[in-house]
Amino acid sequence: MSRLPIFRVLGGLIGTFILIGTCIMIIHPVDDLMFERILSAVTAIAGGAYLIAFAIRGKTM
């Protein structure tokens, strides 16, 4: 029960990062290299957040 808010917060953070990245791409038309860089950064942030979530879940169990 206590881990539901954690996932909700993480989901919100991931969603915010993706939204910010999309907004940046819409406002500033960038070349393919920059697009790949932003995409990889968003993916890395999302992956790190999921790893942290699993670590927290493992500790609470």
DSSP state of 29: -
* Both tokens assigned to 57: 């879940």
Q: Residue 4's pLDDT is what?
A: 67
In tens, the pLDDT along 5-52 reads 777 777 777 778 777 777 777 776 666 677 777 777 888 887 777 777
| pTM as predicted | 0.40
Q: Residue 12's pLDDT is what?
A: 76
Tell the burial category of 60 from Cβ atoms under 10 Å away from its Cβ (0-12, 13-18, 19+).
exposed
40 membership: H or E segment, kind and range: helix 32-60
Domain range annotation of the chain? 10-60
